[in-house]
A = this chain, B = another copy of it.
Amino acid sequence: MPPSPLRIEPIPGYSPAIGRLVCMLMYARSTTLAAVEGMTIEELDHVHDSGSNSIGALLAHIAAVERSYQVMTFEDRGLSAEESTRWSVALKLGAEARRLLRGHPLDRYLDDLRTVREVTLQGLGARNDEWLDRSVTIAPKINIHWAWFHAAEDEINHRGQIRWLRKRLPARP
Contact A9 B133 (CB under 8 A): yes
Chain A interface residue bracket vs B: 20 to 34
Question: Which of B4, B51, B161 lies in contact with A161, CB distance below 8 A?
Answer: B161
Given contacts A157-B159, A168-B51, contact A141 B20 (CB under 8 A): no
Chain B hits for A7, CB < 8 A: 142-143, 145-146
A134-173 residues at the B interface, CB under 8 angstroms: 141-143, 145-146, 149, 153, 156-161, 163-164, 167-168
CB-CB contacts of A26-63 with B at 8 A, as 1s and 0s?
Answer: 01100000000000000000000101000000000000
Task: Compute how far the CA of A16 lies from the CA of B17 in the bound complex, rounded to whole angstroms.
Answer: 9
- The CA-CA distance from A151 to B78 in the complex, in Å, is 32
Given A159-B160, A161-B161, does the pair A27, B146 have CB atoms closer than 8 Å? yes
Residue pair A167, B51 in contact (C-beta under 8 Å):
yes
Whole-angstrom distance between the alpha carbons of A20 and B24 in the complex?
Answer: 13
Report 6 cross-chain contacts, Cβ distance below 8 Å, ordered by A residue: A9-B145, A16-B17, A51-B167, A158-B160, A160-B161, A161-B164
Q: With both chains docked as a complex, state the minimum distance between the C-beta of A99 and any C-beta of chain B, in angstroms.
A: 20
